[in-house]
Amino acid sequence: MPARMMKATFLVLLSLSCLVVFVQCYGGRNFDPLKNLVRADRFKETTLASSESEYSPVYVAPQDGLKAADKIESLPGQPNGAIFDQYSGYVTVDPNAGRALFYYFTESPQNSSTKPLVLWLNGGPGCSSFGNGAMMELGPYRVHSDGETLHQNEYAWNNVANILFLESPAGVGFSYSNTTSDYNLSGDKRTAEDSYTFLVNWLERFPEYKTRDFFLTGESYAGHYVPQLAQLILQNNQNTNQTVINLKGIAIGNAWIDFETGLKGRYDSFWTHALVSDEVNEGINLNCNYSTPFLSGVCNEYLDEADNLVKDIFIYDIYAPLCGSSNSPSELMASGISVWIYSGDTDGIVPTTSSRYSIDKLDTSVKTSWYPWYTQDEVGGYAVGYQNLTFVTIRGAGHFVPSYQPARGLAFFSSFLEGKLPPSS
């Protein structure tokens, strides 16, 4: 089979199975990585990683000819009339370990040469940016119910930007390592370092994007990935011998930022949405101090009772039918780049309350008061502008904003790229 055909078949196999991936990663009974991470953190001491790291040289490999080899002529089942270029392939980030990250890149259909470059990272940790982000949320195609063909996503984010989906860390999706122990040693710090090495090499492969405005986006556990990668970019940009990445802003949806605000917001949200009883809520409030390294046994008993009460609803969108830390945030705000936090208001796993508690900890001042924003003559959500930070809710969206509310998600994303608050009328 020709290499290009093998590659196309390789891609479509994932796209046709992405519904299974989506359920396993975000809604399955036995695999819910963010929920499992939260539960594990409840029983171990929390530590604050240092935000400071020394610069070390980045591996850069020859990239000649690889862009042309990565180009996708057409995906199997792809509808006619596509007028944008798309690419996929691997970028080696550690040749000694044999560690390589997989990407899928879609240019904008109109004026791609003038539009910014946006990196998208799914959370999890351990969820596929291609299978989930590209094929279920904001990418140019969705899979038809026949499981064999694709249809265009009217609200794809590549309408307004060039979108780069990265499978990170190694072991997620098609990204891999030839060193088995890598999978046990992966963590936030190395994930940021590998993602940075990927970007430096990818920009050598696609040099026309070196000076383009660059934005980092993601959701859920990308509340860790995005700020740490942004901080690393800003630090390394100060080294004149290294590629300068023109970082302009970050946006994180329903972001899991830290243990204290994430957990408090989550269980407060359960009660305000009438998912748990007054007695359970009172027991949590009396016995749980999320700012301490360990939660008490009594606290964990109440949290387990709350979890048991919501186990039969889809916690990533509480009204949907059931389907099968560091100082980096404040440092990024001080850096002058645009920082946006957005939140689907029906998410139960990282609810709007968690985002608001996280912002409260930053102790920043309000510049534009809370107001409803509009799209298509309807309230799209609510927004508030802080000093160097914007918080936006997306009405009627669960954890995966571009999937549940694609039109509102695209409207918010367009405002983010323009550096303007969402429209108030």
Indicate which residues carry an active-site annotation: 220, 347, 399
What is the Cα–Cα distance from 100 to 161, expressed in whole angstroms? 25
Write the burial class of residue 46 (CB in 10 Å: 0-12 exposed, 13-18 middle, 19+ buried): middle
Check if the beta carbon of residue 72 is closer than 8 Å to that of residue 3. no
Residue with tokens 């030839």: 178
DSSP state of 413: H
Query: Which H or E run includes 373?
Result: strand 366-375
Closest by CA position to 100, among listed 164, 169, 165, 163: 169
What the block records as the tokens of 295 is 């939660």
What is the Cα–Cα distance from 90 to 283, expressed in whole angstroms? 50
Q: How far is CA 177 from CA 94, 98, 302, in A?
A: 9, 5, 41
Cα 107 → chain centroid: 19
What is the Cα–Cα distance from 339 to 321, expressed in whole angstroms? 33
What the block records as the tokens of 354 is 């968690």
Amino acid at the residue 106: T
Closest by CA position to 329, among listed 221, 208, 420, 226: 226
User: Strand 378-386 and strand 389-394: pairing?
Assistant: antiparallel
Residues 6+ apart with CB under 8 A from 363: none
User: Helix, strand or coil for residue 163?
Assistant: strand
Closest by CA position to 319, among listed 405, 402, 397, 407: 397
Check if the beta carbon of residue 226 is closer than 8 Å to that of residue 119. no
Check if the beta carbon of residue 200 is closer than 8 Å to that of residue 58. yes
Q: Report H helices in 97-205.
A: 182-185, 188-205
Widest CA span of the chain, in angstroms? 65
